[in-house]
């Protein structure tokens, strides 16, 4: 009698949210100084709650990389995210790119944010994501700093070529950039998802690309990673991307306006469809096997 092989459960994917407001984005650095942030209309709480509502409807959990600046002003939001079963992770204090910080200043930033989030949610903070994916080949020292500060993993390298960020030759899936025979593997880096297609590396892990591409292509690309490559996808978005009613800042160059405001009105429906199309979970659980391996070394 033939033996039926055990069924393989569908691959889980990491759903992540960078919890920041519309005026924090790198595209606005030259147009909105940080000393104006407190005076601007804040919309992050209502937009994040919309994402939480969508996820709760489907019993989906994810990882929320929270900006320390937001946590200081909205601690109840951080507790709400944590109480609903999501992973709280760090996005740094003030959305300053790592490339603009010294190792000493960076350590103070990531340590302060980690302690602040842990004090608010009462849970250990193990993950970090750099502002504007600003860790790459030339500043891998930042991963050593993160490990010193007590982090277990980073999701800060985008293995593409981009005018603001990217390390196009980096591995596409979870790896140890600082592996050393004497010092061990270092910090686990979990990149945002990309697709190798016709000799090109195509970003497909969310953000502006999710608003730019046809929805069917985005879902197909993420499923391709699961079915053809056997890998978990890492997807991200920002709360402001679900907010077509956010204030339009005056005087922005056309390129900046296009990138930031493109298809905001379509994101609500697109996100509903995406959440229904794949299996999702928290970053720490999707990559638990890798984190456990690193902890045993």
- The residue extents of the domains of the chain are 13-296
Q: Hunting for tokens 């609903």 — which residue is that?
A: 84
Specify the pLDDT at position 20.
Answer: 98
Position 184 scores a pLDDT of: 60
Whole-number percent of the chain with pLDDT over 70:
94
Model confidence band, residue 141 (pLDDT cutoffs 50, 70, 90): very high
**Sorting pLDDT into bands at 50, 70 and 90, what band is 82?**
very high
Which burial class, exposed, middle or buried, applies to 66 when counting CB atoms under 10 A from its CB (0-12, 13-18, 19+)? buried
Least confident residue range of 210-224, 263-277, 282-296: 282-296
User: What number is the average pLDDT over the span 118-141?
Assistant: 96
Q: Output the six-digit token pair for 18.
A: 């960078």
One DSSP character per residue, 55-102 reads HHHHT---EEEE-HHHHHH-HHHHHHHHHTTPEEEE--SS---GGGS-
Tell me how far apart the alpha carbons of residues 73 and 250 are, in angstroms, rounded to a whole number. 26
Q: Span 88-96, mean pLDDT?
A: 97
User: What 3-state class would DSSP assign to 111?
Assistant: helix
Q: What is the per-residue pLDDT for 182?
A: 47
Percent of the chain topping pLDDT 90: 85
pLDDT digits (tens, 9 = 90+) for 151-203: 999 999 999 988 778 899 999 999 999 876 445 678 999 999 999 988 899 99
pLDDT at 6: 47
CATH assignment of 13-296, given 3.10.20.440, 1.20.1600.10, 3.20.20.370, 3.40.50.10800?
3.20.20.370
pLDDT in tens, 1-36: 554 444 456 899 999 999 999 999 999 988 998 999
Q: How many Cα atoms within 13 Å fall on the side-chain side of residue 132?
A: 18
Please give the pLDDT value at position 7. Answer: 47
* pLDDT of amino acid 166: 82
């Amino acid at each position: 009698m033939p033996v039926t092989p055990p069924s393989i459960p569908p691959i889980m994917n990491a759903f992540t949210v960078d919890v920041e407001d519309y005026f924090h984005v790198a595209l606005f650095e030259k147009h909105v100084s940080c000393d104006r942030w407190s005076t601007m209309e804040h919309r992050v709480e209502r937009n994040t709650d919309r994402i939480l509502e969508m996820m709760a409807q489907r019993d989906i959990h994810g990882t929320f990389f929270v900006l320390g600046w937001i946590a200081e002003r909205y601690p109840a939001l951080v507790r709400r995210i944590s109480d609903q079963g999501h992973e709280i992770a760090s996005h740094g204090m003030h959305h300053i790119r790592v490339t603009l910080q010294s190792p000493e200043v960076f350590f103070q930033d990531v340590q302060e944010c980690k302690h602040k989030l842990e004090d608010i949610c009462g849970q250990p903070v193990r993950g970090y994501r750099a502002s504007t994916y600003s860790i790459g080949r030339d500043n891998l020292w930042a991963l050593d700093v993160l490990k010193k500060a007590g982090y277990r993993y980073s999701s800060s390298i985008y293995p593409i070529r981009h005018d603001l960020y990217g390390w196009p030759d980096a591995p596409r899936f979870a790896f140890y950039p600082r592996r050393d025979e004497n010092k061990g593997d270092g910090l686990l880096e979990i990149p945002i998802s990309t697709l190798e297609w016709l000799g090109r590396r195509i970003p497909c892990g969310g953000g502006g690309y999710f608003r730019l591409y046809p929805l069917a292509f985005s879902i197909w690309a993420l499923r391709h990673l699961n079915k053809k490559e056997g890998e978990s996808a890492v997807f991200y978005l920002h709360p402001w991307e679900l907010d077509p009613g956010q204030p339009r800042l005056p005087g922005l160059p056309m390129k900046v306006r296009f990138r930031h405001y493109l298809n905001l009105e379509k994101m609500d429906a697109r996100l509903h469809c995406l959440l229904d199309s794949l299996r999702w979970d928290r970053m720490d659980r999707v990559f638990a096997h890798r984190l456990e391996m690193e902890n045993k070394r």
